[in-house]
Amino acid sequence: MDEKRWIDLRSDTVTVPSREMLLTVLEAQLGDDGRRITPETGGDGTVNELEALAARITGKEAAILFPSGTMANTAALLTWAKAGDTVLVDRLMHLYLREKTGFVPALGGLLPVFYDLAANGSPDMESVKNALTAASVRLACIETTHNFSGGSCQPPDELAQFKELCGRAGIPVHMDGARLFNAVCSLEVEAEEICRYADSVMFCLSKGLGAPVGSLLCGSRDFCRRAREMRKALGGAMRKAGVIAAPGIYALKHNVPGLKEDNEKARYVAERLRKLEKAFPIRGSVPSNILILETAGEETCRALMEALKVRGILCNKVPGHGLRFVWHNGVNWEDTRLAAELIVQAAGRIKACGGGEANGI
C-alpha cells in the first residue's frame, strides 16, 4: 500500500538538504570549534569560513554558529541583559511567546515590556516611544520576517525609525531574523541593508535555506566574544561542527534566490483565497512565504485543520485562532495550485456546516 503523500505546509523547518549540499560534508575541514585559536577563530576551519561569510553578508564584524535559533536568541538576550532587566518586545514575538527561556524567572529572569504592532505587522512607533518612556528598558527586540503577523517584512525606513527611537533611549536592538532572507527577497534589498538597523542579528540556516541544522548570531567583535561565552554556558559549544557549517555555507551561496519563489507561491495562494475573505480573512498582506488564515474560534480552527489533513494538507495552528501555511522548497508549483483548490474546498465545507464538516469530516 502506497504511503499517503502530504503537502506539508506546517513550516519551512521540514525542508531536507539536497544531495549537493550533503556532499559538502565529505570535504569539510573539521576540528574542535570550542577550542579557540584566536578570539575570532576556533579550531574548525569550516565553521570559521561560515562565520566569516555570515558576518560579511550581514555587514557585522563577527558571527557565531549555534545549534538552533532559540539558543542563539537566548544567548543574545542574556548577553545584552541580565536577570531583572526589562526587554522591549511585542506580544506575538516568537522569542517571547514560544522560545520563552530568557523570560522564565528560574532561567533568564528577564522582564518583558510590550509595544504594539501596526496593521502591517511593523512596530507601532508611537507605542514604541511610549514604552521606552514608561519603563527603564535595557534591550529592544524586533522580528523580521514577523512569523505570527503573517510573515510581515519591515522596510528599511521603518527599521531605521525603530533604531533611532531606541538609540535616543541609549539601548541596543536585537533582531530575530530567523527568516531574514525571505525578507531580503521580498524587499529586494541586500541583507546588510536590513541588518544595519540592529546591533545583533540571528538568522536560521535550517528553514527555507534548507540546511540540516544551525543558526548564526552576528554582531560586533566584542558582543560576539561575550555571546560565545554565553553559548558555552548554555551548552552550545560544538566540536567537529564543520559537518553543520559546510551545508550552511552551501545554503548561503546557492539557496537564497529560491526563497523568492517560496514568497511568490504564498502570494499566489493568498490571491486564490480572497474569495474566503469574509469567513476566513487572511492575516496581513502575505509579503513573504507565510500565509495565515483567521478563523472564528478554536472549534472552527481545529475543524478546518482536520478537514485539510483529510485532504492531504498539513498546516499549523498559531496564536489568535489562525492556521498557518508556510512555503518552502519541498512544495512545488503543482502542489501549490492543488493546495489552493483544496483549502478553498475545505473552507467552503466548514462554512456551510457552521464550523464543522458534515459526516465527521
Class of domain 7-14+257-360: alpha beta
pLDDT in tens, 41-99: 889 999 999 999 999 999 999 999 999 999 999 999 999 999 999 999 999 999 999 99
Instruction: Inform me whether the pLDDT recorded for 335 exceeds 50.
Output: yes
Q: Mean pLDDT over all residues of the chain? A: 94
**3-state secondary structure string across the chain:** CCCCCCEECCCHHHCCCCHHHHHHHHHCCCCCCCCECCCCCECCHHHHHHHHHHHHHHCCCEEEEECCHHHHHHHHHHHHCCCCCEEEEECCCHHHHHHCHHHCCCCCCCEEEEECECCCCCECHHHHHHHHHHCCEEEEEEECCEHHHCCECCCHHHHHHHHHHHHHCCCCEEEECCCHHHHHHHHCCCHHHHHCCCCEEEEECCCCCCCCCCEEEEECHHHHHHHHHHHHHCCCCCCCCHHHHHHHHHHHHHCCCHHHHHHHHHHHHHHHCHHHCCCCCECCCCCCCEEEEECCCHHHHHHHHHHHHHCCEECEEECCCEEEEECCCCCCHHHHHHHHHHHHHHHHHHHHCCCCCHHHC
CATH architecture of 19-254: 3-Layer(aba) Sandwich (3.40)
Please tell me the predicted confidence (pLDDT) of residue 65. Answer: 98
Lowest-confidence range among 173-177, 196-200, 279-283, 351-355? 351-355
| Prediction pTM value | 0.95
Q: Do domains 7-14+257-360 and 19-254 have the same CATH topology?
A: no
pLDDT tens across 1-25, in order?
A: 356 789 999 999 999 999 999 999 9
Q: Where are the domains of the chain?
A: 7-14+257-360, 19-254
